[in-house]
């Protein structure tokens, strides 16, 4: 779990640098661009510490300015940040492929399956033995069907 959170933060960090590669943005603008890329808005509790990390590592800098009458920090990539992106181009491409796969999974409705499994986890004690056997058979069939579809796709390549 900790590894996944660390990897998630590293992926977001890479995407934030990617967003700043061509133009400067304030935090809200970066969040909006992230949402367009990954399909959801990451929580500020993750993003704002990443801004501080990127700044501390010398990958981004900011100037304070006015946008819409409000004081905001305008972030931009430093030369060191550009070099970092260039050195890690393959990693960025991997992150972008991961994002695209995630979007496809969302389109398939995979989140619904996770929600059902969570509900099952929370309510399994209420199920009698027959209902548990029925669910086990259903999961075995689901697994078999998914593997068959994946195998067919593999054969067609």
Which pairing describes strands 60-67 and 25-26: parallel, antiparallel, or unpaired?
unpaired
Instruction: Provide the 3-class DSSP secondary structure of residue 43.
Output: coil
Q: Count of residues for the chain?
A: 157
Over residues 39-65, the pLDDT tens digits come to: 888 888 888 999 999 999 999 999 998
Whole-model pTM? 0.74
In the predicted structure, residue 8 carries a pLDDT above the cut 90: no
**Residue 19: its pLDDT value, please?**
96
Under 8 Å between Cβ of 16 and 50: yes
Category of 76 on φ-ψ map: left (φ > 0), alpha (ψ -120 to 50) or beta: beta
Considering the chain, what is the average pLDDT of its residues? 91
């Amino acid at each position: 779990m900790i590894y996944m959170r660390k990897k998630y933060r590293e992926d977001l960090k890479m995407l934030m640098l990617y967003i700043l590669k061509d133009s400067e943005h304030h935090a809200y603008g970066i969040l909006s661009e992230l949402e367009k890329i990954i399909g959801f808005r990451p929580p500020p509790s993750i993003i704002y510490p990443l801004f501080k990390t990127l700044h501390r590592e010398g990958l981004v800098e900011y100037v304070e300015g006015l946008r819409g009458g409000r004081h905001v920090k305008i972030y931009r990539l430093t030369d060191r940040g550009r070099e970092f992106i260039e050195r890690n181009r393959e990693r960025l491409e991997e992150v972008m492929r991961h994002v695209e796969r995630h979007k496809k999974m969302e389109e398939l409705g995979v989140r619904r399956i996770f929600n059902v499994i969570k509900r099952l986890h929370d309510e399994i004690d209420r199920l009698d033995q027959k209902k548990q056997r029925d669910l086990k058979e259903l999961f075995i069939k689901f697994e078999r069907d998914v593997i068959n579809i994946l195998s067919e796709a593999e054969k067609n390549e």
